[in-house]
Structure 1
């Protein structure tokens, strides 16, 4: 196993019973307790030797949460730790912090299906395991994040998504959504404060309840143990990769002819562009529904069909090592072009330019062994007709800004720009009367702009510690907020990634935290979410310094 893979696995050290009894007096008997390291996806938030536990049932979770409340501790749910933002713990959390990590992956993984195609699943199940189960019953989802190791609970906490809008003439299939995964929830069970009982208890919330709307995207300010999702018939997907379209053509001004992003959206509805820094040709993936295998496609019977992106060729990894360990950041243009060359060679060598199979096998492609980079993230809401304009204006500014920094000998980006496009969270998709829209999902529609039916998701990735990265990303964020300000598009942050930049740090800009974020949802909606999450957890058992600041 590679070092990257090992980093994704929590390090477990069984607790000494005498030490545990002294440091955690009265901890629930029968709940596995141990010392554990914590590391987020990129390793810029770490902690060593925290107390952690692995409840075998929701009832044991309740016991742990009540113990934490009575003893002045916080309880933080942990799944795959595949995120960037400080939503679980904050950087600098000491090993003796009064924090108990609640590991969901060992036991909270049950899954079952009912006669209405509703799937009940524990929040510790991974997306790959869930989608594999669904595939075995002829079911699936429209889109999903690329990594299969993310837990369901983690995905729903931050309204995770893939990439899909309806192609021209395409009708949504029953049980599917073009919005986030949170929009599939029919009901969820969480451990919340029970005022009458004077303790925390399990409570099931159905999608038509007002409180459920706050829990559908809760950012870690609650602890959900089980969910029921609406799902629909699985489809066969073809995925064609292209690296021959220049960025100036793919991201051209609106109204341009040729191979534009808009052209492929209209044709297939499912696109992703990965644009390596300082290169001219993005890696474009285009998925399309194909009930039968096209003659030119290679059938794939399992996911992760781009091994060259999971394990970089030696020449590419060597440049990466020089970047990171020898502070040779000026090699960013060389690194970007080497990565693009590796993709082109890898697609040919593995026969992966044109693949076809059950949706899971075409949608999941990122393993924990891939190069780990920091990432910022935003959702730009607009109308379908304005997508090309939004993409063109963003990419033009990004290129100009990158060139301006390079002219000063600064190379803040050595990874990629990634662009995806989805629909929004339409509560009607779950086919439940009175279903509520997730309150603070980044894919929540703007009520005052019903014509905005699309979200353009963009991320910029770079190696942790790259000089001038935060300043560059602040410049970019300020452009997004100023340009997509509500006239024809509006910017929201993508919760799990980087945002709120000062010149030195992410998640630190007070204006973004106090004004921009609440305004992007509407002050009333933001306050409803904050008040609900506080009422369901009045003792801030699920808080941390960052979340308490965000919802203050």
Structure 2
């Protein structure tokens, strides 16, 4: 579905390791594809490795890849790349969708070297009310390290196979706002993880060469680096953290969409907004062509409720982490052409979840925060996803989700009438806070300039973001066109007085009828303009800062050259 990739083979959505070889290249005179990069720094491990992202939309042949052992090695690499005309792309665990690392037409002949941060740049140190962590550490390891020290976070992305650097580059988030009557504990934020940064160390151009420089959160130049969308290389960050919390997670799959997503004033009592008020942390997973979402609510619970089951490790939903054979068999039929079975597939996914919750005793769980917040493993079903954050006021959350649900169902049915089934997975809806710099406890702290949940100063009443994702197999016929219509809905319906839309950097956006990340107007105008609205526009200043710190575009790629020229 992306113009950066070709069709996926059977079972690629389950993470098959086969890699497509792409014929586009840019050899220089006298070079051949197998030649190592010239004058590559001695002492830094160099090898060839293919790159494939989460859903397989971006796949390359073997690319030169290296594993620096220290931040000083990264500086050495940056100065080498500048002198030799190469680019460097930080590489984490490849659990993303958008082409922020490499584009799908990248080949082994291109002058690019991937920098695997996950092998060595993983050190962590506990500080008073904070943690210092190198950017190659995984979220799994960081959260376990914090738990051992009695520390934790309020929200985090559901997968743990993410690098800290990758999460911060795209303002990674979970789902959390304060429940009614809840007080934010010290060291915690309801916004994205980028808002937890106290200081960061980046490789920047300074005095005629690339150097390491540490930025405090109160420095104006830090704002652009807090969420840099791939246009910088951070080696280490210090994050504000607080005392760990015990959470209770209750799942149910019995509320009709007509009630959960009812319009405001309908008289419905079990609404999405009502659960948000009760628990503050909500996720709805709405499988395609079904009418009862899997609803999860997390609430702070210092002691174990009598009906809850105590869990001491994350990833407790075995039925979704390990794809059952009936689901994988039916998925095989879909991706080999039987797309009309999509409604059956949606019902099967719902039934698997609803029965699995009971069979595995996971309807009511309690434990330390990470064991409830991490629940997506690499073995889960691999699908592509779009992603948007709708900034609005908490009082308007029900209106936002209701408007979306009505439009989405109508659009889905209109495609079905034409014999098209562009969505094979599910809608996922979460709600999070905005990046309030006061939460980090640093006087004069900067707001992340390019965070999708950067507050709008002209709308102080907008205090939450409703996050939407729609998942499907990348080869589903009509998917890109469907996503394009949905995107146009987001940027027209949620604009102006009561809400505003921003793209979720790591997911799919800028759709044409054929591909994601391909609509020129969206890339160069619509999306940037969402950071130019209000009295404190941030897009152009952030772009200028990123360019000043990397004037030679060592940390860039062809996609970023368009988005952030």
Q: 1:539 aligns with which of 529, 532, 552?
A: 552
Q: 1:71 aligns with which of 84, 104, 115?
A: 84
After TM superposition, the structure 1 = structure 2 runs for residues 90-169 of structure 1, keeping only pairs within 5 Å, are 90-114=103-127, 116-169=128-181
Residue aligning to 1:47: 60
Given that 1:7 and 1:39 are in contact with CA atoms closer than 8 Å, whether structure 2 keeps it comes out as no
Q: Is 1:468 paired with 2:481?
A: no
User: What is the Cα deviation at residue 257 of structure 1?
Assistant: 3.0
Distance 1:332 1:25 in 2: 51
Classify 1:5/1:481 alpha carbon distance in 2 versus 1 (closer, same or farther; 3 Å).
closer
Q: Is 1:495 paired with 2:508?
A: no
Distance 1:66 1:528 in 2: 25
Residue aligning to 2:188: 176
User: What is the Cα deviation at residue 291 of structure 1?
Assistant: 0.7
Query: Which sections of structure 2, spanning at least 5 residues, go unmatched?
Result: 1-10, 20-31
Distance 1:230 1:20 in 2: 45
Given that 2:70 and 2:121 are in contact with CA atoms closer than 8 Å, whether structure 1 keeps it comes out as yes
Distance 2:483 2:519 in 1: 12
Classify 1:305/1:332 alpha carbon distance in 2 versus 1 (closer, same or farther; 3 Å).
same
Q: Is 1:290 paired with 2:301?
A: yes
Distance 1:9 1:346 in 2: 31
Residue aligning to 1:27: 40
User: What is the Cα deviation at residue 514 of structure 1?
Assistant: 1.9
Q: Is 1:454 paired with 2:467?
A: no
Classify 1:97/1:22 alpha carbon distance in 2 versus 1 (closer, same or farther; 3 Å).
closer
User: What is the Cα deviation at residue 27 of structure 1?
Assistant: 1.1
Question: So what's the TM-score if we normalise by structure 1?
Answer: 0.96
Q: 2:330 aligns with which of 312, 319, 336?
A: 319
Q: 1:189 aligns with which of 201, 220, 237?
A: 201
Q: Is 1:367 paired with 2:377?
A: yes
Residue aligning to 2:274: 263
Q: Is 1:299 paired with 2:290?
A: no
Given that 2:170 and 2:505 are in contact with CA atoms closer than 8 Å, whether structure 1 keeps it comes out as yes
Q: Is 1:527 paired with 2:540?
A: yes
SS of residue paired to 1:370: coil
User: What is the Cα deviation at residue 315 of structure 1?
Assistant: 1.3
Q: 1:361-414 CA deviation, whole Å, 9 max, x = no partner? A: 001000001110010000000000000000000111000100111111111000
Distance 2:106 2:322 in 1: 32
Query: Which sections of structure 1, spanning at least 5 residues, go unmatched?
Result: 11-18
SS of residue paired to 1:504: coil
Q: 1:249 aligns with which of 255, 259, 262?
A: 259
Classify 1:426/1:249 alpha carbon distance in 2 versus 1 (closer, same or farther; 3 Å).
same
User: What is the Cα deviation at residue 7 of structure 1?
Assistant: 5.6
User: What is the Cα deviation at residue 8 of structure 1?
Assistant: 8.4
User: What is the Cα deviation at residue 5 of structure 1?
Assistant: 7.9
Q: 1:143-177 CA deviation, whole Å, 9 max, x = no partner? A: 01000111100000000000000001111110000
Residue aligning to 2:226: 216
Distance 2:446 2:17 in 1: 35
Distance 1:3 1:402 in 2: 25
User: What is the Cα deviation at residue 25 of structure 1?
Assistant: 2.4
SS of residue paired to 1:221: coil
Distance 1:149 1:123 in 2: 13
Residue aligning to 1:421: 431
Residue aligning to 1:16: none
Given that 1:120 and 1:228 are in contact with CA atoms closer than 8 Å, whether structure 2 keeps it comes out as yes
Residue aligning to 2:288: 277
Residue aligning to 1:14: none
Q: 1:292-316 CA deviation, whole Å, 9 max, x = no partner? A: 1111111000000001101122111
Given that 2:483 and 2:511 are in contact with CA atoms closer than 8 Å, whether structure 1 keeps it comes out as yes
Classify 1:9/1:384 alpha carbon distance in 2 versus 1 (closer, same or farther; 3 Å).
farther
User: What is the Cα deviation at residue 9 of structure 1?
Assistant: 12
Distance 2:270 2:296 in 1: 13
Extract structure 1 runs of 4+ deviating beyond 6 A: 2-6
Given that 2:50 and 2:59 are in contact with CA atoms closer than 8 Å, whether structure 1 keeps it comes out as yes
Q: 1:463-493 CA deviation, whole Å, 9 max, x = no partner? A: 0111000111111111111111122000100
Residue aligning to 2:413: 403
Given that 1:186 and 1:206 are in contact with CA atoms closer than 8 Å, whether structure 2 keeps it comes out as yes
Q: 2:215 aligns with which of 202, 205, 211?
A: 205
Q: 2:365 aligns with which of 342, 355, 367?
A: 355
Distance 1:157 1:537 in 2: 16
Distance 1:98 1:447 in 2: 42
Given that 1:21 and 1:27 are in contact with CA atoms closer than 8 Å, whether structure 2 keeps it comes out as no
SS of residue paired to 1:23: coil
Residue aligning to 1:551: 564
Distance 1:9 1:425 in 2: 40
Deviates more, 1:154-163 or 1:515-524: 515-524
SS of residue paired to 2:538: helix
Given that 2:75 and 2:211 are in contact with CA atoms closer than 8 Å, whether structure 1 keeps it comes out as yes
SS of residue paired to 1:34: strand
Given that 2:247 and 2:302 are in contact with CA atoms closer than 8 Å, whether structure 1 keeps it comes out as yes
User: What is the Cα deviation at residue 234 of structure 1?
Assistant: 0.6
User: What is the Cα deviation at residue 511 of structure 1?
Assistant: 1.9
What is the RMSD computed on CA atoms of the aligned residues? 1.8
- Alignment coverage as a number of residue pairs: 541
Residue aligning to 1:442: 452
Given that 1:188 and 1:227 are in contact with CA atoms closer than 8 Å, whether structure 2 keeps it comes out as yes
Classify 1:91/1:21 alpha carbon distance in 2 versus 1 (closer, same or farther; 3 Å).
closer
